[in-house]
Amino acid sequence: MPKIAFIGAGNMAAAIVTGLLAQKVCMPADLSCLGGSGASAQRLTAHTGIRLAASSQDLLADAEIVVIAFKPQHLATIDPSLATLTAGKLVISVLAAKTLARLSAAFPAARNIVRTMPNTPSAIGAGMTGWCSLSPLDSADRATVLTLLRAIGREVEIPESQIEALMGVSGCGPAFVFEFTAALREAGVAAGLDRDTAQMLAVQTLLGSSRLMAETGTEPETLRNQVTSPNGTTFAGLKRLEAHHFRAIIAETVQAAKTRAEELAQG
Ligand SMILES: NC(=O)c1ccc[n+]([C@@H]2O[C@H](COP(=O)([O-])OP(=O)(O)OC[C@H]3O[C@@H](n4cnc5c(N)ncnc54)[C@H](OP(=O)(O)O)[C@@H]3O)[C@@H](O)[C@H]2O)c1
């Protein structure tokens, strides 16, 4: 792997660094970071052994790849010298709602720019990241991007025009799943279980069901039908979901997230 510099050293940078080191695709000496005015970069360095850069110039001196991992609002106030310091380098952004056009205005001389949209399970290596690039990636840069994103979970290349739809499904999806899990727990409490037991049942049921879908590659409808006997208990429950338009509610939820993502990308 080429040397990688991280601008921004918070949760997302830590997830990528931890994944790259755990998979032994990089050594700590190949990675360096720089934060803002807080302590995140010192923390990341102390936890992982990667190099803490003294300045933007120091950070980018021998890095081939630059990962942009600060908050989207910081893009407007970054060190202006980054526009020239990133010349000829591959820039990979994890910034939500920052388009390739906006990124290429900030890093005009980069050899290519990749826009990614990861999600929070990235922190445990179980993320889902959608990505697109400004120009088609050459084979070496593609290999680098795949290695980096696979260090935090799965990845899929999609056209930039679909990033907001992906945001509605996998970007915001974890929060929708957490809300569903909490609703399942509360329903268990209402049905007579104590809260801790209901929480354990709900979380393990989500985990087991997700693994069953992922590991068998079976359509969720097929797995649902396998546990639904005519006029049985699951059938009784599913009828209530249908009566209350469960699928329409989820469709509206994803659409609302997508619409908001489009508004933010324009702003
Ligand atoms: N967390 C996720 O699961 C997730 C999911 C999808 C997308 N993202 C994207 O990932 C990005 C980072 O999110 P995060 O959760 O990692 O944020 P975070 O933990 O708050 O970290 C932000 C980092 O940016 C640094 N920073 C602040 N101002 C800066 C500046 N002017 N120049 C350079 N660095 C600066 C901070 O340094 P100091 O501590 O020194 O201030 C900190 O290291 C965001 O753009 C977000 O949209 C995150």
pLDDT at residue 267 greater than cutoff 80: no
List Cβ neighbours of 77 (8 Å cut-off, separation of 6 or more).
none
Nearest ligand 1 atom, CA 171: 6
**Amino acid occupying residue 173:** G
Q: In 3-state terms, what secondary structure has residue 230?
A: coil
11 lines ligand 1 (CB under 6 A): yes
34: nearest Cα among 21, 60, 53, 49? 53
Mean pLDDT of all residues in 249-260: 98
Query: Binning pLDDT at 50, 70 and 90, where does residue 1 land?
Result: confident
Mean pLDDT of all residues in 190-213: 98
Q: Is 123 exposed, middle or buried (0-12, 13-18, 19+ CB in 10 A)?
A: middle
CA gap 160, 162 in Å, rounded: 5
Delineate the domains of the chain, giving CATH numbers in brackets: 4-163 (3.40.50.720), 171-266 (1.10.3730.10)
45 lines ligand 1 (CB under 6 A): no
**pLDDT attached to residue 38:** 87
CA gap 140, 154 in Å, rounded: 19
pLDDT at residue 62 greater than cutoff 80: yes
Nearest ligand 1 atom, CA 40: 39
CA of 232 to the centre of ligand 1 (A): 49
pLDDT at residue 194 greater than cutoff 80: yes
The average confidence (pLDDT) of the chain is 96
36 lines ligand 1 (CB under 6 A): yes
Quote the pTM value.
0.95
List Cβ neighbours of 172 (8 Å cut-off, separation of 6 or more).
254, 257
What is the per-residue pLDDT across 73-123, written as a single tens digit (0 to 9) for each? Answer: 999 999 999 999 999 999 999 999 999 999 999 999 999 999 999 999 999
What is the per-residue pLDDT across 31-54, written as a single tens digit (0 to 9) for each? Answer: 999 999 889 999 999 999 999 999
33 lines ligand 1 (CB under 6 A): no
